[in-house]
Amino acid sequence: MRDLFRPGRSVAYGCEAMIATSHTLATAAGLSVLREGGNAVDAALAAVAVQCVVEPQMTGIGGDCFVLYAPANGDVVALNGSGRAPAAATVAKLGEFGLTGDIPQTSPHAITIPGAISGWTKLHGDYGSVPLDRLFRDAIAYAENGYPVTQRVAADWALAAPLLAQDEGARSAFLAGGHALREGDRHAQPKLAERFREIARDGAAAFYRGEVAESLVRRLKALGGLHTLDDFAEAETAAFYATPIKGEFRGYDVYQCPPNGQGVAALMILNILGGFELLDDLPLAERIHLHAEATKLAYHHRDALVGDFDHLPHPVETLLSDETTAILRRRLRRETAMAPSLWHEPEHKDTVYLCVVDRDGNAVSFINSIFSSFGSTRYDPETGVLLHNRGASFRLIEGHPNAIGPKKRPMHTIIPAMLRKGGRNVMPFGVMGGHYQAAGHAAFLSGVLDRGLDLQAAIDAPRSFAFDGVLSVEPTVDAGTIESLRSYGHKVAIAETPIGGAQAIWIDAEKGLLKGGSDPRKDGAAIGF
């Protein structure tokens, strides 16, 4: 039990159904659908639609999605709703535009054809039970009439204001009098309400064909993009189902979407950590060190080897094999921070997550993203669509698995997850936070399964992230632990903003209970009934 004298959150409980999101208005929207008899997919779509309005810095219909759907009795299904590069996009072509390193956040070449709406409509058509006009009702109302800006959203908004100011459309839509909206301000997006109505009426075609697609292509071409109407038309049905990948951790099956997502990195971290005892009495510095070293090894492989599934140099099974795990585990030093290396020795960022469990035990793990804060910050005032910048993840290196190419999907950081045991659903869960997500999955699961923390305590626990040569730790990590980490050889930095955010729902079949947690680093809640 948590210390009730200290600020904090208790685990949420329910008996029939539960939803957990990063925004209370989204949680409320999904909860009302569940109360009316809608299923987990229905509730997830209602909630994510609201998030596309009330968390514009994190997600939108101009972004991408990944989903794991786990029916109570049946196999887990992975939905890939990520967008592809234009057919004309190549490393050589972008080189003609002077791009040879990273693709800038605001570049039109960072904008792949958004895949979210293709994913939403496919998922709804196959598994939904409530009409889209009902599911989008709250999102339409908030977009048309306005919603209050919450505390965390306002903080992110302020940080993004300089970039928003550089785009005329974004400036008019998201800066009031040249300033970011503040906590408690009311914000509306009436054009977005129109898009939701059209998608509810006409399906994905309302986004990928006709006037909306024409306007988006004009906007992108004016910015120098390579996008065409054919690219958008093909994207209408581009979302697809795939067989999930899975690993084992402490007797449970952990499901992830296959690449182009980074779920394989989460499973690699868990595989490495599976060889160590990480019980609650382990000193925090040692726990953070082991997690950091496993993360560095897994992410090194991710960056070198993961991209579009059709362009992987090695099967996922190879990266997750016992042989690879044993090699990587041997390279981890308990006393010293080391540089990572690939197993075969070659020479050579913002998101919303939600989960739902319905009265029949069906579970959904759902993530939707525009990548960087406010995505590309490229906004089309004619349609009200803010475009993501997921293409910034592409590499401009010929022959690299994640090199940009015609109709390729970039490596994605967004990864929903599902925990099962004996073929039964145990927990949909996810961790937001750009590159942190794979590391966050492993840390959260270890907190629950190794340390015996309840969901909320595991979410609340101080976070750390080893990335790009720096070990970032939240200010809640004590000074003694930080000094110990430095003695290992880590370059430690105190995080200036919270590291990620998480939601999870645990299904206690024996007691007939649902237990939910939602991250206090965001503005959301887990609620059941």
Q: Which of 21, 45, 16 is nearest to 33 (CA)?
A: 45
Mean pLDDT by 10 residues, the chain (529 residues): 83 98 98 98 98 97 98 96 98 95 94 98 98 98 98 96 96 94 97 98 98 98 98 98 97 97 96 96 97 95 87 89 94 86 43 95 97 96 97 94 96 96 97 94 98 97 94 97 97 96 97 97 96
pTM (global) more than 0.85: yes
Return d(Cα 93, Cα 499) in angstroms, integer.
36
**pLDDT value, residue 311:** 84
**pLDDT value, residue 242:** 96
Torsion sign, CA atoms 45, 49, 50, 56: positive
**pLDDT value, residue 350:** 65
Catalytic residue, from 106, 121, 150, 351: name it.
351
**pLDDT value, residue 312:** 85
**pLDDT value, residue 327:** 93
**pLDDT value, residue 348:** 31
Strand, helix or coil at 245? strand
- Other beta carbons within 10 angstroms of residue 331's beta carbon come to 15
Terminal-to-terminal C-alpha distance of the chain: 21
Domain residue limits, the chain: 18-64+84-224+373-393, 242-350+415-528
DSSP state of 110: G
Return d(Cα 93, Cα 226) in angstroms, integer.
10
- Topology annotation, domain 242-350+415-528: Glutamine Phosphoribosylpyrophosphate, subunit 1, domain 1 (3.60.20)
In degrees to the nearest 10, what's the CA dihedral of 103, 109, 111, 113?
Answer: -140
Residue 100 a catalytic site member: no
